[in-house]
Structure 1
Amino acid sequence: MEMVVAIQNEARNELDSTRIRRIHQNLSRVRHWGIRHILREHNRETDGIAKQFKERRKGLQ
């Protein structure tokens, strides 16, 4: 989930840049990985986490 949130929100500050760099390093250690779309209806828990993050980020602006 951390990967999805970081990528969706782009690298807006140094913390995000560091996070994305760490994600790329982790993915480079894996032989095979992929990204696929999962409908929100089938992934309610992750959707809830993403909504919480988005609301928290709004509150910081």
Structure 2
Amino acid sequence: MSLSFWQIALVAVLFLLLFGRGKIPQLMGDLAEGIKSFRKGVSDVSSDTEESNQLKKADSVEGKS
């Protein structure tokens, strides 16, 4: 099932009516800020995981010596 032009246009008009012209740029800015924050959080978690893995490897190498 694909969306037709009229269905997309109807959704766009309803979106515009609900939020108004002035609110849409603000909503998009907030959405972009949220995405940036999410990406930063994900990269922080992955870097923390990599650091802990490196520390575990270093501890295991020192324990074998």
Fold match (TM-score > 0.5): no
Q: Larger % of helix: which?
A: 2
Q: TM-score, normalised by structure 1?
A: 0.34
Q: TM-score, normalised by structure 2?
A: 0.33
Query: Which one has a bigger Cα radius of gyration?
Result: 2
